[in-house]
Chains A and B, each alone.
Chain A
Amino acid sequence: MTTTTAPTAATTPTAPRALSVARTTATAGRVLRQLRHDPRTIALMLLVPCLMLVLLRYVFDGSPRTFDNIGASLLGIFPLITMFLVTSIATLRERTSGTLERLLAMPLGKGDLIAGYALAFGALAIIQSALATGLALWLLGLDVTGSPWLLLLVALLDALLGTALGLFVSAFAASEFQAVQFMPAVIFPQLLLCGLFTPRPDMHPALEAISDVLPMSYAVDAMNEVLRHTDVTTTFVRDVLIVAGCALLVLGLGAATLRRRTA
């Protein structure tokens, strides 16, 4: 063992700020570096949505109009599901491995950690959504009236929502088994009620009322707005704001589940 002399420059102790750009980007960089050591996960995250779209295109080979409807909705749903899964497992691992306790005993703000995760997975979501959207529009002939950029924007917000939900539920999962089970519990009801299978007004009024308060409904609505209209409609703006608002709200709830002191 070797020991060098101690450095004389002692940093003056200051109270950590709520959100530090340097610590947030360091966290995002660390999350991406972890993923880089796991190329299989990256490949699955990027390729599975593309494969599903190809599959869907030929399932509806005879009715391209159906593919337009479902395809556009799925472009919004894929990033939500992938990011939900990845984030819930990643933060659960952070909790169980003791690294979260260590980080919270250090001058890291809770906001830094959450923003770092959102930034890292957001970046990945952009790549995933760009690939899936590009494939759907130019190779699979998805017929969209509006701008592809708007599709990408909604997909990104959905990814953020997925990250937020994943972070939040990971607080209630004691193991990876439980975390994976939260996927059907949190995502499937939204999937059934979001208007993917049948327009929401055709559902039982009680279910329609429930679907009105589930964020995925607005994600799918926003995608359908882009599908049908050339310009940005007020409904689209409303949907986008609701999805973004939900994502921020759940991120805030997720931050509340990170405790510096635990029993």
Chain B
Amino acid sequence: MMNIVSGPPDPHAHAVRAEALTVVRGPRTVLRGLDFTVPRGRITGLLGPSGCGKSTLMRAIVGTQAKVGGTLEVLGLPAGHATLRNRIGYVTQAPSVYDDLTIRQNLEYFAAILDPGRAAAERRRDHVSRAIADVDLTAHSDALAGNLSGGQRSRVSLAVALLGTPELLVLDEPTVGLDPVLRRDLWNLFHDIAATRGATLLVSSHVMDEAERCHRLLLMREGKILADDTPEALRSRTGAETVEAAFLHLVDEAVATGRAKETAR
């Protein structure tokens, strides 16, 4: 039933590798010297309160963020490299689709950009139909995107990122505003994509219960990485029962050491 293209992911290969990664936006340093890796073929959750720099980090990885300092390698190439553009699927927080096109027309256009030419027409049609089925919108495929509900529109945006066969999917809060059933279905889809298509997923969320569904977690706060571990390891390290409790424990710890440093001065 499975049809793995590239075999099991090489545990030594990283999909993303950052060293001393810094991003400046205007007067603010949004990311301060981050070091982390994202393993291939796995789902990595990027968690943290809103405004902590999750979206900026994702934009840096897909190569749309300006003023990126330090080292950032994506699929073995510097982030933003031209050949990476059809190997990465990216979903922004706000759904970025054309409201005055139908779901199918939206996907057909983006598919034509990823895989142009008349010779690829049949492959494109398959990819478009598969992507619409993936996000469970086949019944609505001829509806205008502007007439869809918020959750449906964000799923169209997700479907665009699933076009082709991206090796890395960067999803910025893909489940925000979705009902529990849809959220469960989407997480099942993410696991399916990682398992059967060998893709790496980097999924951001500020809902901590979604953290339990990830293979690995990056916890962020105020532009820094608080923890880079598996959910189980995080829980046992902090002695907490949930990832949420573990996160709060780490935050308190960081605040306490910050205060200790200040008083020592």
A: which residues have CB within 8 A of B? 1-11, 13-16, 20, 22-23, 26-27, 29-30, 33-34, 37-38, 97-99, 101-108, 259-263
Contacts and interface: CB of A to CB of B under 8 A. Distances in A.
B21 interface: no
A214 B165 CA distance: 49
Contacts of B26: 263
A5 B116 contact: no
26 contacts: A1-B188, A3-B133, A7-B127, A10-B5, A11-B164, A15-B83, A22-B117, A23-B113, A26-B112, A27-B109, A30-B101, A30-B109, A34-B98, A38-B100, A97-B94, A98-B95, A102-B92, A102-B110, A105-B63, A105-B85, A259-B66, A261-B80, A263-B25, A263-B26, A263-B66, A263-B67
A7 B133 contact: no
Contacts of B94: 97-98
A262 B65 contact: yes
Contact of A97 (B99, B110, B118, B197): B99
Nearest to B198: A6
B63 A3 contact: no
In this complex, the interface size class of chain B, counting residues with CB under 8 Å from chain A, is 35 or more
Nearest to A261: B66
- Looking at chain A's contact residues, the main secondary structure is loop
Interface string B21-40: 00001100000000000000
A107 B85 contact: yes
B170 to A, nearest CB: 9
B87 A13 contact: yes
B80 A98 contact: no
A152 to B, nearest CB: 29
Given A3-B192, A37-B101, 10 more contacts: A5-B2, A6-B4, A6-B196, A8-B3, A11-B164, A22-B117, A30-B109, A97-B97, A107-B113, A262-B64
A16 B114 CA distance: 10
Given A3-B189, A3-B192, A13-B83, A22 B101 contact: no
A38 B146 CA distance: 12
A87 B127 CA distance: 31
A263 B112 CA distance: 28
A262 B66 CA distance: 5
Q: Taking each of B90, B116, B164, which has the highest tally of chain A beta carbons within 10 Å of its own beta carbon?
A: B116
A124 to B, nearest CB: 15
A5 B1 contact: yes
Contacts of A99: 96-98
A37 B130 contact: no
A251 to B, nearest CB: 20
Contacts of A22: 112, 116-118
A29 B121 CA distance: 15
B92 to A, nearest CB: 5
A16 B82 CA distance: 7
A30 B108 CA distance: 9
A3 B196 contact: yes
B105 interface: yes
A102 B100 contact: no
A42 to B, nearest CB: 12
B193 interface: yes
A71 B26 CA distance: 51
B76 to A, nearest CB: 11
Q: Taking each of A10, A15, A99, which has the highest tally of chain B beta carbons within 10 Å of its own beta carbon?
A: A99
A260 B87 contact: no
A106 B63 contact: no
B225 interface: no
B241 interface: no
A7 B85 contact: no
A107 B114 contact: yes
B196 A5 contact: yes
Nearest to A41: B100
Nearest to B23: A263
Contacts of A4: 130, 133
B244 interface: no
A3 B193 contact: yes
A63 B154 CA distance: 60
